[in-house]
Amino acid sequence: MQKRTLGIDGLEVSALGLGCMGMSFGYGPAGEKNEMIAVIRAAFERGITFFDTAEVYGPFTNEELLGEALGPFRDDVVIATKFGFKLDLTTGKHAGLDSRPAHIKAVADASLKRLRTDVIDLFYQHRVDPEVPMEDVAGAVKDLIQQGKVRHFGLSEAGVAAIRRAHAIQHVAALQSEYSLWWREPEAEILPLLEELGIGFVPFSPLGKGFLTGKIDESTAFDAADFRSTVPRFSPEARKANLALVGIVDGIARKKGLTPAQIALAWILAQRPWIVPIPGTTKRHRLEENAVAASVELSDADLHEIESATSQIAVQGARYGEAAQRWINR
């Protein structure tokens, strides 16, 4: 698989990464550990070297899973994890934000143990904390980099001002935010800023939380532990309306002998050479399907067709509920 570079300090990763959250958290019951280890190792065999996790995924269990799965080839992969949430250990849920420097450093030490490593390759602030100056956050990560515990600094769902302030203290290697054919908000202000500053972009949910695969419709039933059951964009009414977008992507995919997921990922990869999407999956055959997208080349005519067709569709429903939306920094 081809490589791409995130940030001006040269963090090299595979063109496609693997988002591992859903293996432990968020999309229903956690996967069986040995099966998930097999999927992670299959990703590495397929050329994927960039793996994404966070302390809150589980909490903690996803980092532990990656630590075990990636141990045999730790030196050949890039592990990204995150800090920034306050955790209620009695409920296993996050209870607000906490990016105080002391907390950041405590999270780093705990994550290093769970990941069975002596360095975190990419350490993201999971959400911007309005109570802690960004200069203090970036300074704390800079200290961790100087101590050799972290290699690169990242932000997630951060706005323009926060990115600039952080980057002035410690180079930001990558911004992680949602981006796909059905969520294109980053194009307005975020992508131009990242290009200006030389920061890489790591889109999560590049397949629209599974919707762009074409495997979800208005009759799909979500598990009670699946967060999509609370997302306005996944209400039955919104799903029914949004199938128009999937139909367009599916039609283009059929003409090229590809799947909707492969078109959706190839479209993202074609937007900028410093964009690295991290689709998640718990299934080996989906992993194989997604990996093919890294070698799909869309022509200018293909991209124009996709742009022209999808621009006619107004996607229905907010991408987050109110509780989660308040943590987005724009």
Which residues are 174's β-sheet partners? Answer: 154, 200
Q: What is the predicted pLDDT for the residue at 317? A: 96
**Look-up of token digits 């250990």:** 89
> Can you list the domains of the chain with their CATH numbers?
3-325 (3.20.20.100)
Is beta strand 50-52 parallel, antiparallel or unpaired with respect to 78-83? parallel
* Cis ω before 59 (30° cut-off from 0): yes
Confidence of residue 322 (pLDDT cuts 50, 70, 90): confident
Q: What is the predicted pLDDT for the residue at 200? A: 99
Q: What is the predicted pLDDT for the residue at 54? A: 98
Q: What is the predicted pLDDT for the residue at 110? A: 97
Which residues are 34's β-sheet partners? Answer: none
Q: What is the predicted pLDDT for the residue at 181? A: 97
* Of 53, 52, 43, nearest in space to 73 by CA: 43
Is beta strand 120-125 parallel, antiparallel or unpaired with respect to 93-97? unpaired
Give the C-alpha distances (Å, rounded to integers) separating 132 from 63, 67, 97, 167, 274.
Answer: 25, 30, 10, 16, 29
Residues in Cβ contact with 320 at an 8 Å cutoff, skipping those fewer than 6 apart: 231, 232, 328
Span 14-57, pLDDT tens digits: 999 999 999 999 999 999 999 999 999 999 999 999 999 999 99
3-class DSSP state of 141:
helix
**Look-up of token digits 């109570």:** 131
Which residues are 95's β-sheet partners? Answer: none
Task: State how far the Cα of 140 lies from the Cα of 76, in Å rounded to an integer.
Answer: 27
Average pLDDT, the chain: 96
Confidence of residue 316 (pLDDT cuts 50, 70, 90): very high
Give the C-alpha distances (Å, rounded to integers) separating 50 from 15, 131, 161, 240.
Answer: 9, 31, 27, 34
Q: What are phi and psi of 234, to 5 degrees?
A: -105, 15
Q: Which residues are catalytic?
A: 57
> Does the global pTM surpass 0.95?
yes
Contact yes or no for 135/91 (Cβ under 8 A): no
Angle between helix 61-70 and helix 101-114 axes, rounded to 10 deg: 50
Q: What is the predicted pLDDT for the residue at 93? A: 76
Confidence of residue 90 (pLDDT cuts 50, 70, 90): confident
Tell me the percentage of the chain whose pLDDT exceeds 90: 94
Task: State how far the Cα of 262 lies from the Cα of 268, in Å rounded to an integer.
Answer: 10
Span 55-66, pLDDT tens digits: 999 999 999 999
Tell me the percentage of the chain whose pLDDT exceeds 70: 100
- Average of per-residue pLDDT across 240-245: 96
Span 49-88, pLDDT tens digits: 999 999 999 999 999 999 999 999 999 999 999 999 998 8
